[in-house]
């Protein structure tokens, strides 16, 4: 068994403690644009999807894409998103389409990507989003090629 900050982790991967159990916050979210792709066709369909997805209390987080029209994202609270629901924004699909990426090897493309990412931060603030998911950028090559390259790199020693 391992001890971590006073908690004991046993072989069944259940977190246990000698005292009261730790407070764990679990949130349930809905990725709006994946669940309701038809809602991307117009403002009315978007508003209806927001109302449908937040009816009851099953979801406490709604994730919207930064590729939605800015007016929809920034007015989501007025369009049916209840005050109790947290708003998350996802910029992943948008950022993967950018020519310049945060993980670019050259400084100039990275700087352009940082400038665009600042605009996404502004959008998140304007929309009242609690979270903004960014993506550093595409990885060159197929997943298999990337894994093979990573396996070929010897592990680095940490300085003493």
pLDDT in tens, 120-134: 999 999 999 999 999
Instruction: Give the global pTM.
Output: 0.67
Torsion sign, CA atoms 125, 127, 130, 132: negative
Domain boundaries defined on the chain: 26-152
Rg (CA), the chain: 21
3-state secondary structure of 131: strand
pLDDT in tens, 62-116: 889 998 899 888 888 888 788 778 889 999 888 888 889 898 888 999 999 999 9
Topology, domain 26-152: TIM Barrel (3.20.20)
Angstrom distance (rounded) from CA 89 to CA 62: 8
Which DSSP letter does residue 90 get?
Answer: E
């Amino acid at each position: 068994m391992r001890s971590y900050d006073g908690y004991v982790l046993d072989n069944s991967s259940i977190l246990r403690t000698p005292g009261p159990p730790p407070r764990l916050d679990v949130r349930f979210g809905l990725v709006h644009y994946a669940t309701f792709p038809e809602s991307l066709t117009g403002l009315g369909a978007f508003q209806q999807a927001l109302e449908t997805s937040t009816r009851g209390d099953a979801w406490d987080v709604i994730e919207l894409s930064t590729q939605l029209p800015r007016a929809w994202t920034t007015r989501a609270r007025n369009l049916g998103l209840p005050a109790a629901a947290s708003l998350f924004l996802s910029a992943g699909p948008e950022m993967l389409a950018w020519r310049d990426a945060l993980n670019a090897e050259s400084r100039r493309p990275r700087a352009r990507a940082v400038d665009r990412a600042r605009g996404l931060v502004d959008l998140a603030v304007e929309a009242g989003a609690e979270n903004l998911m960014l993506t550093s950028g595409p990885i060159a090559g197929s997943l298999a090629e990337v894994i093979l390259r990573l396996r070929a790199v010897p592990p680095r020693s940490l300085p003493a």
